[in-house]
Amino acid sequence: MGAGPLPELPHKTAGGLQALLMFGAPGAGKGTQSQEISRQLHIPHISTGDILRDAVRKGTEIGRRAQSIMEAGELVPDDLVCAMVERRIAEPDCQRGFILDGFPRSVHQALFLDGLLRAQRRGGVVAVNIRVDQGSLLKRLTGRRTCPKCGTIYNIYSNPPQKAGICDRDGASLIQRDDDTEAAVQTRLREYRRQTRPLIERYRSLGALRDVDGNLEPQAVTAAIIHLLKAS
Ligand code: AP5
């Protein structure tokens, strides 16, 4: 998006508080798109995966509970993730709205979020479903490299850094996620189909879901999301 006015998220209420939910299979581009939309709309990107990975790196109680579950590609218990999200969206930077990347991921989490938004008199929800051909997902995930310092996401095939293995922004050495092994990816895809994909139909039936073609170049996907937010 150029220098035009910032689009407001739709369904804005008097409180002006909204949630943009990013859905899509592992590797669909939720993190990539959330980072860019956060930059353009000036609202925080809340990735439950990033918060959990940070907790694992720091060796906190949450991190210790989550580590082996994440490495196997299973879902971390609902109570733990819900408490994490509740704390995060209570922070002041979320007052104008926020992007949830990777949450909700189960029916329990979706109902919890409904209750939270209602109790806090938050505005409406828009859910974006990034659709990508199944065949591309494995290559995207095994080719992903991430900056441990600033979180920028690269791909050795489609979006390599200027210097191999080094973040363009801060010079840190890029890392590969522990759950981007083929075995863990298969489990993540299975959990996605079993627990998360049904939520897409839930938000569709509520009239809050918008589909986006995630097979396009990342910039084109961002433009499509911004366009649909303006149109909603
Ligand atoms: P999480 O971190 O949320 O992982 P995920 O959902 O599996 O999604 P990914 O981060 O792998 O993919 P993405 O869609 O963000 O793709 P990205 O933009 O990076 O969760 C990890 C784990 O944490 C879970 O398995 C679970 O254990 C736990 N967890 C997290 N939330 C939880 C919850 N709510 N409840 C319970 N447990 C939870 O892109 C992928 C690659 O593709 C990159 O290399 C990128 O450069 C490239 N790419 C992106 N877009 C394009 C494009 N348009 N064209 C070409 N390449 C592209």
Per-residue pLDDT tens over the stretch 83-98: 999 999 999 999 889 9
Distance separating the N- and C-terminal Cα atoms of the chain: 17
Could you give the C-alpha distances from 81 to 59, 66, 113, 165, 204, in angstroms and in order?
16, 10, 11, 31, 24
The secondary structure of residue 159, as a DSSP letter, is B
CA of 28 to the centre of ligand 1 (A): 7
The string of pLDDT tens digits covering residues 170-226 is 999 999 999 998 899 999 999 999 999 999 999 999 889 999 999 999 999 999 999
Ligand 1 site, CB within 6 A: 24, 26-32, 48-49, 52, 69-70, 73-76, 81, 102-103, 105, 109, 140-141, 143-144, 153-155, 158-159, 179, 188, 214, 217-218, 221
The encoded tokens of residue 167 equal 């973040």
C-alpha dihedral (131, 29, 188, 97), degrees to nearest 10: -100
pLDDT score of 6 more than 50: no
C-beta separation of 126 from 208 below 8 A: yes
> What is the SS3 assignment for 160?
coil
CA of 29 to the centre of ligand 1 (A): 7
Cα separation, 111 vs 43, in Å, equals 23
Number of the ligand 1 atom closest to the C-alpha atom of 220:
53
C-beta separation of 163 from 171 below 8 A: no
- Band (120; pLDDT cuts 50, 70, 90): confident
Q: Which helix (H) or strand (E) holds 35?
A: helix 30-41
For residue 155, which amino acid is it?
Answer: N
Residue from 22, 48, 78 whose mutation best tests the ligand 1 pocket (most atoms within 8 A of CB): 48
C-beta separation of 153 from 32 below 8 A: yes
For the chain, the residue count is 232
Residue 215: phi, psi to the nearest 5? Answer: -80, -10
C-beta separation of 99 from 22 below 8 A: yes
